[in-house]
Amino acid sequence: MRIYEMTAGDIASKVRRKDLSATECMEEIAERIGRVEPSVGAFLHLNLDEAMRQARAIDNLPSGERERLPLAGVPVAVKDNMATQSMPTTAASKILEGFVAPYDATVVSRLQHAGAVIVGKTNMDEFAMGSSTEHSAYQLTRNPWDRDRVPGGSSGGSAAAVAAQMVPVALGSDTGGSIRQPASYCGVTGFKPTYGRVSRYGLIAFASSLDQIGPLARNVDDASLIYEVIAGYDPLDASSLRVEKALPKATDVSWANVRIGVPKQYGSSGLDASVQARLAEVISRLESQGASVVEVSLPHTEYAIAAYYLVAPAEASSNLSRFDGVRYGYRASGADLLEMYENTRAQGFGEEVKRRILLGTHALSAGYYDAYYLKAQKIRTLIRQDFEQAFAAVDVILTPTTPDLAFRFGEKSQDPLQMYLSDVYTVTANLAGIPAISTPAGLAGGLPVGMQWLGPIMGEESLLHIARGFEKLWPSEGWPALGGEA
């Protein structure tokens, strides 16, 4: 097996034992990236020299120290909305072109303390607003399974880098599905933990009350491994939770004891036939293992998209106000202060970002706040209650991750509303703050299909356990063949 095909867990245990040097690993990863990246375009920034330096530093550690590193020598890609001192952090926006943060995001320092090597920063929809990574101000990222198609978004670069085996694991951020949807489109595992589990310090905020960082990986164990490293209370993030994280049991799932809910509201409309068929197959395979699959009711789901597209843009309009050309990033000239502001933001932001800033500004305006933002927050409470009731009866809720499969470039970008509607299965987890994971369930017509598993707040342990059980039940069919394979 080639090093680039190895899991993060294998690399780490080999490097810890010195069966593999971090340098050797990094060299092969660099070679793989050099070969594959031109046809995928997953990275906005690479700093392979720095990565080699980090790898050598790990090899040079006294063995006692190296043996304690859970991610010893593991190459990791980080979405470009997380602050790094060693590379620019642009959130794929012109307004932050060339911006290098003077500090590292908490997740980045945690990864590095655990022995991981940060390879590069991945492409994304500008400020994480989008579902295809087409809204990057810099480049397209191609789906490794079909390079005429999008990788999903907004963490499209991270999903593509993992699927193309350029890195075993990557970080993404998920505000309404931005980890899970690209994971589904690219056939990898994408995990959004409970809101507050992972520090947001250093994550360029899109919608503060919805954003959550999580891993993308080629299996659930690797996702769990990264989760273990990045989760936990951070004094720099007042919304981070002061609770112990628990990792999944190593045991097999005894499906006979698992109660699985399938929401009746998540059916039919807009659901692609091949996805619907795959869901049915998945259900029958689970049932054949003895799992009980029941219908659950999440009656307020129909308001979820509306609520999400009020809350998220409202918070975004506020969070993105700091990009004003005064202190850092892009500044346009103007005859006076107001004109400088207007020109900077008009030229610095892309169309989708501007659309959402306008939406959000309107939703928070005097006279509209109660009708829009406040009402949307009330819907969030109802959605949270829907889930609480559902989880009283089931252990986990199963849905497709997306109603469709990876689409072609340009296919949906002319119709933002249609793009928004495809978030239907993912946004409720962010609105309710619950953990959710997308796992691959094979291919349909050569394109990956993803299944989403939703758990109760702080239910990561059981959720990851079940997801790993499903992975065994529906093993991977392998990885996309990319040009130049040796």
Partner 1 sequence: MNSTYEVIIGLEVHVELKTQSKLFCSCSTEFGAEPNTHTCPVCLGMPGVLPVLNEAAVACAVKAALALNCTVHPFSKFDRKQYFYPDLPKAYQISQYDEPLAEHGSVPIVIDGAVAKTVAVRRIHMEEDAGKLNHLGQRLGDAKGSLVDLNRAGVPLVEIVSEPDMRSADEARLYLTELRNVLSYLDISDLRMEEGSMRCDANVSLRPLDYHGSLEDLPRVEIKNVNSIRNVYRGIEYEIARQAEKMGRGERIVKETRGFDDQNGRTYSQRSKEEANDYRYFPEPDLPPLVLTASYIEEAAQSLPPSPMAIRQELAEAGVTANDAEVIVADRAALEYWRSATAVFADKRQVTNWMLSDVSRLLNAYGDTFWTARVGPQALADLLALIERGTLSGRMAKEVLDRMYETGGRAEDIVQSMGVSQITDKAAIQAVVQQVVAGNPHVVQDYLSGKDKALGFLVGQVMKQTKGQAKPDMVNAILKDVMADYAKA
Q: Is 154 a catalytic residue?
A: yes
For partner 1, which is the closer residue by CB, 91 or 226? 91
85 belongs to the binding site for partner 1 (CB under 8 A): no
CA separation (Å) from 18 to 60, 66, 117, 185, 411? 11, 9, 16, 36, 48
233 belongs to the binding site for partner 1 (CB under 8 A): no
Of positions 64, 327, 333, 486, contacts partner 1 by CB under 8 A: 327
Segment 407-466, which members bind partner 1 (CB under 8 A)? none
- Residue from 136, 173, 178, 462 carrying the catalytic annotation: 178
Segment 286-315, which members bind partner 1 (CB under 8 A)? 314-315
Is the backbone of residue 282 left (phi > 0), alpha (psi -120 to 50) or beta?
Answer: alpha
At its nearest, how many Å lie between partner 1 and the CB of residue 112? 17
Can you say how many angstroms the Cα of residue 468 is from the centroid of all Cα atoms in its chain? 18
Give the span between the Cα atoms of 199 and 259, in whole angstroms. 31
Give the span between the Cα atoms of 223 and 8, in whole angstroms. 9
For partner 1, which is the closer residue by CB, 106 or 165? 106
For partner 1, which is the closer residue by CB, 122 or 438? 122
For partner 1, which is the closer residue by CB, 83 or 405? 83
365 belongs to the binding site for partner 1 (CB under 8 A): yes
272 belongs to the binding site for partner 1 (CB under 8 A): no
Beta strands across the sheet bearing 189-192: 43-46, 117-122, 75-79, 169-174, 212-217, 189-192, 436-444, 447-454, 396-400, 259-263, 292-296
Residue (of 186, 182, 184, 159) closest to 275 by Cα position: 184
At its nearest, how many Å lie between partner 1 and the CB of residue 322? 5
Name the one range near partner 1 by CB under 8 A: 1-9, 320-328, 410-418, 475-483.
320-328
Name the one range near partner 1 by CB under 8 A: 159-167, 323-331, 386-394, 429-437.
323-331
At its nearest, how many Å lie between partner 1 and the CB of residue 318? 6
The runs of H, that is alpha helices, within 18-83 are 22-40, 48-59, 63-66
Count Cβ atoms below 10 Å from residue 367 Cβ, excluding itself.
Answer: 6
- Residue from 86, 93, 131, 154 carrying the catalytic annotation: 154
Per the listing, tokens 């933990």 go with: 193
Residue (of 480, 403, 410, 398) closest to 439 by Cα position: 398
Count Cβ atoms below 10 Å from residue 174 Cβ, excluding itself.
Answer: 31
Q: Is 155 a catalytic residue?
A: no
Tokens in use for 38?
Answer: 């031109």
Name the one range near partner 1 by CB under 8 A: 89-97, 243-251, 383-391, 436-444.
89-97
238 belongs to the binding site for partner 1 (CB under 8 A): yes
At its nearest, how many Å lie between partner 1 and the CB of residue 83? 5
Segment 96-155, which members bind partner 1 (CB under 8 A)? 96, 99, 101-103, 105
Give the span between the Cα atoms of 267 and 474, in whole angstroms. 22
Q: How many residues does the chain have?
A: 486
Q: Is 254 a catalytic residue?
A: no
User: Which stretches of the chain bind partner 1, using CB under 8 A?
Assistant: 81-83, 89, 91, 96, 99, 101-103, 105, 200-205, 207-209, 235-239, 314-315, 317-318, 321-324, 326-328, 336-337, 341, 361, 364-366, 369, 373
Q: Which residues are catalytic?
A: 79, 154, 178
